[in-house]
Amino acid sequence: MKEGRLVLVKYRNSDSGSTRGISKTAFFVFLSLATAFVSVAFLSPNPVLADVADVLSVEPWTSGTETVLNITVRHSAPTGSHYIDIVQVDVDGEVEDINLESQSTNPFIVQYNMDEVAGEPAVQVRAHCTLHGWGSWSESLVIPEFSSIIVLVILAVLTLTTIYFKSKMKM
């Protein structure tokens, strides 16, 4: 068979013994439609994508004895009818909704007060868009009972106190 030559594909119908094939015209129509579909679907300079809400980060900080989560959410081009209306916070399986009004900035920060933390709860967060629905859950984050800065300060004070008393005992 020579290269570049179109071959008529034939197959035999076992019942009637007749042959039928795909004509050159039908093949070229199919090939043209497939090429047009691929061009529109994959090569479009401005593909249309759903703007699902995305939780960018969850950062805990302490204020006195309370732990507060700063939740950064991205959702481009919010409007009065297309915005993030709910942020859900899952703390060890207990889910709480934070209801929101329309946003004017992107990304934006939502604060969630966890009050006083006991143990090391696991936290996940997701956001809901009024048009596209729920985004995916964020990575699970374990919140320490004490922040690392507080632990560092306590250790420093204990170390200095120990050094002070040992120096007094030697005198």
The 10s digit of each residue's pLDDT in 27-40 is 777 777 777 766 65
Q: Is 38 helix (H, G, I), strand (E, B) or coil?
A: helix
Whether 96 and 53 have beta carbons less than 8 Å apart is answered as no
> How much is the pLDDT for 112?
95
* 72-89 pLDDT, tens digit each: 999 887 888 899 999 999
CA dihedral of residues 98, 101, 105, 111 (deg, nearest 10): -20
**Residue 32 CB neighbours (<10 A):** 10
Model pTM score? 0.57
Domain parsing of the chain, residue ranges: 10-42, 54-149
Q: Is 54-149 in CATH node 2.60.40.10?
A: yes
Strand 54-63 vs strand 66-74: parallel, antiparallel, or unpaired?
antiparallel
Q: Is 169 helix (H, G, I), strand (E, B) or coil?
A: helix
Q: How far is CA 79 from CA 30, 42, 48, 74, in A?
A: 42, 28, 18, 14
- In tens digits, the chain (171 residues) has pLDDT values of 455 555 555 545 555 554 456 778 877 777 777 777 666 555 545 444 557 889 999 999 888 888 999 999 998 878 888 999 999 999 999 999 999 998 888 899 999 999 888 889 999 999 999 999 999 999 999 988 765 566 677 778 888 888 888 887 876
Sequence-separated (6 or more) residues with CB below 8 Å from residue 141: 58, 60, 122, 123, 124
> How much is the pLDDT for 42?
58
Q: How far is CA 55 from CA 72, 87, 120, in A?
A: 6, 9, 21
Whether 123 and 144 have beta carbons less than 8 Å apart is answered as no
Distance separating alpha carbons of residues 139 and 125, to the nearest angstrom: 8
Sequence-separated (6 or more) residues with CB below 8 Å from residue 13: 19, 20
